Structure 1
Amino acid sequence: MAEVKFLNIVKQFEDENKGKVFAVKDASFTVKDKEFLVFVGPSGCGKTTSLRMVAGLERQTSGDIYIGDRLVNKVHPKDRDIAMVFQDYALYPHMTIRENLGFGLKNLKTPKAEIEAKIKEAASILSIENLLDRKPRELSGGQRQRIAVGRAIVRNPSVFLFDEPLSNLDAKLRVQMRVELSELHKRLEATIIYVTHDQVEAMTLGQRIVVMNAGEIQQIATPEELYEKPNNLFVAGFIGSPPMNFVKARLEGNQLHTASYTFTLPDDKVKMYKKYDGQEVIFGIRPEDILSTKLMPSVPDKNVYQVNLKVVEHLGAELLIYFDIGDDQLTGRVNADAKLKQLEPTELYFNLNKMQLFDPKTQERIY
């Protein structure tokens, strides 16, 4: 396996109406050897373009890409020692699974005995030994996805590249495949670069995550760091399901004034935000940090307010509740045992120990 380096990578496209458009803007980072790194972001953010540049399917406008110690700017895709798994499985329908797995090796004129040994090993890793003599049309979506992964495994590449490989699967199968991909990474000790638009998929798979928007890297961090210490409003709103709530507010001493409520800050937050005293800020709080007082052994004497619930969504063990603070709609996630009902007033506690504040001008998190 090998590390992958991006050094000042820029990718531009020509648009008839807009002129030069940046798909990737000055990206520099390193994918560590044996790391599972995930690119995530909305459509058009540059994540797939970044992956295709590693593969050599797109040529960067400027900057350098290294795989291991080798500069690969001018290296043909087939010579980069990478294997790619696409969103569509790209299996040959007229071939058996055995033939599909061995096709790439056969084109490389790999000895027949070696091809068979690698097919057997990949089939064992993915538990598909009983499928080798079938055709793709006889397989389910999950089985075909395993075959596509197996075709990459037999190559024994330095780097595996995954381009939204689970997008065509149903929700239950996607969860199963996420578990299998995590186990596969541990077993192969492989360097994996994975692209997805699904932040849940990114958080569950990635050892580190690259969050992109409009061609720019917003943050590179572990799932825990992204969730607890987002760099800016975009990351805070993109990571988390449901996303973080944002409310316009004004900071005055140990109080945070919104359109409807005045919150009292914990002492450590007062010190942290002292520089912004008297200024407008954006108050961020995650849904799970808004609690129903019905389930609390004792009700705090601060930051408890009565709200009117607009909508209550039942998710089994949890409820998603929706209510307004001024012009802002907030979401809370509470235990279903609270038995909250739509269009009824209820008392909620806002846990400001987990709050975040953002600068409304720069949109960056205030440290």
Structure 2
Amino acid sequence: MAEVKFINVVKEFEDERKGKVRAVNDANFTVKDKEFLVFVGPSGCGKTTSLRMIAGLERQSSGDIYIGNRLVNKVHPKDRDIAMVFQDYALYPHMTIKENLAFGLKNLKTPKAEIEKKINEAAAILSIENLLDRKPRELSGGQKQRIAVGRAIVRNPSVFLFDEPLSNLDAKLRVQMRVELSELHKRLGATVIYVTHDQVEAMTLGQRIVVMNQGEIQQIAAPEELYENPNNMFVAGFIGSPPMNFIKCRLDGNKLIAADCTFTIPSEKLEKYKKYQGKEVILGIRPEDILSTNLLSYQPETNIVQRTLKVVEHLGAELLFYFSVGDDQVTGRVSADAKLTGLTKVELFFNLEKMHLFDPTTQVRI
């Protein structure tokens, strides 16, 4: 396996109306050997373009790309020692599964005995031994995806590239395949680079996550770090489901004064906010840090707000509830034991121990 390195990589496209459009802007990162790294972001953010540049399917406009210690800027895709799994399974319908798995190896002039060995090994890893004589039309979506992964495994590449491979599967099967891909990575000890627009997929699969927006890398970190210490409002709002709440406030001493309520900042956090005294700020708080007081075993002295709930969504073990602070809609998440209902007035505790403040102009976390 091998590490992958981007050094000042830029990718520009020509647009008839806009002229040059920068899809990836000055990207710098290193994928460690045997790491599972996930690119995540909204459509058009540059994540798939980055993956295609690693594969050699797109040529970067400037900058350098290394796979292992080899500069691959001008290396043909077939010579980069990578294997790619696409959103579309791209299986040959007239071939059996065994023939599909063998196709790439035959093109590489691999000896028959070695092809047989690699197919059997991949089939055992993916538990598809009983599917080898079938045609793709006889398989379910999940089975087809396993075959697409198997076709990559038999190549035994330095780097596996996955481009939204689970998008065509239903929700239940996506969960199952996430588990299988995670286990597969551990078994193979492979370097995996994975692209998705689904932040839940990114959080559950990635050892580290690259969050992109409008061609820019916003943050690279482990899932826990992204969730607990987002660099900016984009990362804070994109990572987490439901996303972080943002409330417009003014900082006055140890108080955050919102449109129709006031919060008290924990004393240990005040020092890092002193440059913003008297200024407008954005309070960021996760839904799970807004609690119904009827679930608390104690009575907080501060940060209790009375609100009329607009809607309550019952999700089995938990509830999502929605209300407003001034013009800002806020979401809370509590256990179903809270027994909340819509259009009722409740007492809510804002736990600001995990709060964040953001600069309203730069949107950077303070």
SS of the counterpart of 2:176?
Answer: helix
Structure 1, residues 240-278: CA drift from partner, whole Å, max 9, x if none? Answer: 000000011000111110001110111111122112111
| Structure 1 unaligned spans of 5+ | none
Which residue of the partner structure matches residue 129 of structure 1?
Answer: 129
Counterpart secondary structure, 1:273: helix
Deviations 1:128-173 (A, max 9, x none): 1011111111111000000000000000000000000000000000
- Supply the AA of the counterpart residue of 1:85: V
Q: CA deviation at 1:27?
A: 0.3
- Aligned residue for 2:67? 67
- 2:2 — aligned with what? 2
| Residue of structure 1 in register with 2:53 after alignment | 53
State the identity %.
82
Return the alpha-carbon distance in structure 1 between the equivalents of residues 203 and 193 of structure 2. Answer: 14
SS in 1 for 2:219: strand
3-state SS of the aligned residue for 2:242?
coil
TM-score (norm 2): 0.99
Q: CA deviation at 1:298?
A: 1.3
Which residue does the alignment assign to 2:324? 324
Q: Which residue in the other structure is 2:350 paired with?
A: 350
The DSSP-based 3-state class of the residue aligned with 1:149 is helix
Q: Which amino acid aligns with 1:260?
A: D
Unpaired runs of at least 5, structure 2: none
The aligned residue for residue 203 of structure 1 is: 203
Distance 1:196 1:69 in 2: 27
After TM superposition, the runs of 4+ consecutive aligned structure 1 residues lying more than 3 A away are none
Q: CA RMSD in A?
A: 0.5
C-alpha distance in 2 between matches for 1:22 and 1:77: 23
1:270-319 CA deviation, whole Å, 9 max, x = no partner? 12211211111000000000001111111211101110000000000000
Q: Which residue is equivalent to 1:30?
A: 30
- Listed as ranges, the matches of 1:244-283 within 5 Å are 244-283=244-283
Distance across 1 between alignment mates of 2:287 and 2:260: 18
Whole-angstrom CA distance in 1 between matches of 2:267 and 2:199: 33
Q: Which residue of 2 aligns with 1:158?
A: 158
Amino acid at match of 1:201: E
CA shift, 1:239, in A, is: 0.4
Equivalent positions of 1:56-95 (< 5 A) are: 56-95=56-95
Structure 2 residue aligned with 1:185: 185
Name the CA distance, whole Å, in 1 between partners of 2:137 and 2:268.
61
Report the equivalent of 1:287: 287
Q: Normalising by the residue count of structure 1, what TM-score does the alignment of the two structures yield?
A: 0.99
| Counterpart amino acid of residue 55 in structure 2 | A
